[in-house]
Amino acid sequence: MKNKNVLVIGGGSWGTCLSKLLLENGHNVYLWEHNEKVREVIRNTKENPQFLTNIKLPDNLNVVDDYGEVLENPEKYGKIDILLLATPTQFLRTILKRLKKFLNYNIILVNVAKGLEIASKKRISEMVAEELEHKEYSYVLLAGPTHAEEVAQKLPSAILSVSENEEAAKTVQTTFSNLYFRVYTGTDLMGAELAGALKNCLAIAAGIADGMGYGDNTKAALITRGINEMFEIAKYYNANPKTFMGLSGLGDIIVTCTSKHSRNRYVGEKLGQGEKIEDIISHMNMVSEGAETIKALYKIIKENNLKAPIFTALYEVIYEGKPVSELESTFMSRDLKSEFLN
C-alpha cells in the first residue's frame, strides 16, 4: 500500500491518537489544533498532556498553524490523500465552510465525531454534503468501541470504516489497520451515524445510574431499554437495525456506557450526584457530544411523536431542571407489558 499524506483537523484525544497511529503505520501526518497553546506544546514536547496524557508522540509529527496552507501548497506539503475531521459536531460546520475553498480535487474525508447538529437536527454527513456541495470527495465515518486512551497504548481494538463508497471505506481500512487496530468495512452510513450519536446520550443515562449509586442490574436494564428506543428511532429513519448490533452500535454502547474513559458517562455520573450540567461542562477539557446531541434528539422525538421515554426524560433532567429521580421513575413506573410490544 502506498503511504498516504493525511491532514488531521482537531488535536483532541482522538485526533492526536490517530495521528500517532497513522505515523506508526508509515504515513505522513499534518496535525492542526485550533488552540494555539496546545499546538505549541505538541510541537515542542511531542506530547499532548491536555487531551492525551502520558503518551509520547512520534518525532516526525508535523504540527501546522494553518490547515488551509497545507491544502493550498501540494508542492511543499504533498497532495493530501485523506482529510481526517476530529472536531466536535457543533463546531464542524465552521470548519467545513472554510475548507470548501481549499478542496479542488477528489479527496477522502474521514470523520470521527459522533452527533447531531442542534440547529438543523442533521447528521454529520448531511452537514458535509450541504457545505461541500459541488466538491469532489468521498465521505467515510470511522466509528466503534474505541477510546483514544487505550488505542494510544496499543491495546487491541476494532472499529468500523463505513461509507456509501466501498472503495473509500476499503482505502481507510488499509490505511488505519495494524496489529492492534482492526478495521472492518460497512456501507450503512446513516445507521452507523445514528448509532454513534444516540449511544452518547444513552451513556449519560447510564452514568446517572452510576452517580445515583445503583448497581449493575439497574444499568444493564437501563441500557437494554435504551437500545430498544434506539431501534424505534432507527425505524423512523429506515436505518438497518443490524447496524445497531455491530461495532458502531452495540460495541460502542458497551464501551461508552461502562468505561471510566467515557466523558459522556462521566457527565451522567456527575448529574446523578446532583451537579448541574453547566458546572460539569465548564470543568471538562473535552466535549460531551451526548449533552449536545440530546438537544437535537429531543426535538426529533417530540416533532415526530416517537416513543422514547428514557431519552425524553434525560433531556428534561439535563435542561429542564427535573430531578434525576425522574429518569428512574420513567424507567420503572411505566405500564407493565410484554418486552417486545410497543
Which residues are known to be catalytic? 199
At 166, which helix (H) or strand (E)? Answer: helix 166-176
Q: Which residues of 42-51 are buried (b: 16+ CB within 10 A; e: fewer)?
A: beeebebebb
- Residues comprising the binding site? 10-15, 34, 91, 114, 144, 146, 148, 199, 252, 262-264, 287, 289
Q: And the C-alpha cell for 201?
A: 446520550
Cα–Cα dist 148/12, whole Å = 9
Q: Which residues are annotated as a binding site for sn-glycerol 3-phosphate?
A: 114, 144, 146, 199, 252, 262-264
Instruction: Tell me the binding residues for substrate.
Output: 114, 263-264
Give me the helix-helix angle, 289-303 and 309-319, nearest 10°: 120
Residue 111 grid cell: 470523520
Helical packing angle, 124-131 and 189-211, nearest 10°: 130
Neighbours of 120 (CB within 10 A): 12
Q: Shortest CA distance to 191 belongs to which of 238, 145, 232, 223?
A: 238
- CA angle in degrees (0–180, nearest 5) for 41-49-208: 140
